[in-house]
Amino acid sequence: MAAKPTPATGADIIPLRRPQLARPAPELSDEALLASCGVGDPAALGALFDRHHEAVYRLISRLLRAEPTETDDLVQLTFLGAWQSARGYKGKGSVKSFLFGIAANTVRRHFRATRRRLDALADPPPAPSPGTPEDAAVTAQHLRRLAAALDELPHDLRAAYVLCDLEDLPGAEAARILDVREGTLWRRLHDARRALREAIEGGSS
């Protein structure tokens, strides 16, 4: 066996084995994390939370206008539900869709249980929009009308609109999350869009 060339450093000893360097463990997939949750690994739950909590926060806040603490509770319930039902994950969809499904159900139950009174909540501040001040004013007005219309929208229609239009989920996946047929989802989405459009345009006319 030919000896390796001596390094330029001039070292006389040639290591036979490279030392085990501390390297970061390969990042586990979502599915592996969920499987770990299924066997009771809380660290996996923490990793799953770190990875998806922003999306879950966003989805829940779009599905339900709520106080921050209320949203926190719903997010926690969502991940706790994922922890408890991790064994039931069949891999039909992505883990994110799995979490979204739990979140949608959690929000729906919460919505039905509390029968929220939206009057107590402040209107959301409109996001700054680029363009001229006139355009910005029009956009802000549309946003306020859209937010109000969303609050008036039935929860099923709102969920269809949020999942398909705002979260950009495929129809089949959204239908699975909402546990409805795809045709039902499209009908709900159509109804939601029409209602929102009428609310925005009707308010401007």
Partner 1 sequence: MTDDTLRDLGKQLPTDRPDAARTDKVRASLLAAAAAPAARPSRRWLLVGGGFAAGALAAAAAVTLLVRSGDESAVAPAHEAYAHVESSSAAQLEHTMVPSATGTDEVVRVKAGTVRLAVPPTRAGDRVRVATGDAELEGSGAYEVVVEADRLAAVTVTSGTATLRLAGQQQAVFLAAGQTWRATVQTAELAIAPDPTPSQPPPPSPDPSRPPNPNAGADSGAERAPSIQATPRLPTPSPGVGSGAERAPASQTATRPPPPTPGADSGAERAASIQTTPRPPTPSPGVGPGAERAASIQTTPQAPTPNPGVGSGAERAASLQTPPRPPPPSPGVGPGAPRPPTTPGADSGAERTPSRIADVDAPASGTRPGNGARPAVPGSRRTSATASGAPTETELTPDVPPAPAPAISVAKPVAPAVDPVTETERHFRAGAAALRANRLAEAAAELAAAAAGEGPLAVDGRYYQAVALIRAKRGAEAERALVQFLDKAPASSTRRGRAAVMLAKLIADRGDAAGARGWYELAAKDPDPAVSAAAKAALR
Structure tokens at 94: 């992505």
Instruction: Compute the least distance from the CB of residue 175 to partner 1, in Å.
Output: 18
Instruction: Compute the least distance from the CB of residue 94 to partner 1, in Å.
Output: 20
- Considering the complex, state which of residue 75 and residue 175 has its C-beta at the smaller distance from partner 1: 75
- Considering the complex, state which of residue 7 and residue 68 has its C-beta at the smaller distance from partner 1: 68
What whole-number distance in Å separates Cα of residue 64 and Cα of residue 113? Answer: 13
Instruction: Compute the least distance from the CB of residue 167 to partner 1, in Å.
Output: 10
- Considering the complex, state which of residue 4 and residue 32 has its C-beta at the smaller distance from partner 1: 32
What whole-number distance in Å separates Cα of residue 152 and Cα of residue 66? Answer: 14
Instruction: Compute the least distance from the CB of residue 162 to partner 1, in Å.
Output: 8
- Considering the complex, state which of residue 47 and residue 177 has its C-beta at the smaller distance from partner 1: 47
User: How buried is 158 (Cβ within 10 angstroms: 0-12 exposed, 13-18 middle, 19+ buried)?
Assistant: buried
Interface ranges with partner 1 (CB under 8 A): 42, 45-46, 49-50, 53-54, 57-58, 60-62, 68, 71-72, 75-76, 79-80, 83-84, 124-127, 129, 139, 142-143, 146-147, 150, 161-162, 165-166, 193, 196-197, 200-201
Structure tokens at 115: 């029968």
The number of residues in the chain equals 205
Rounded to 10 degrees, the C-alpha dihedral 182/183/189/191 comes to -160
What whole-number distance in Å separates Cα of residue 179 and Cα of residue 34? Answer: 21
Instruction: Compute the least distance from the CB of residue 3 to partner 1, in Å.
Output: 53
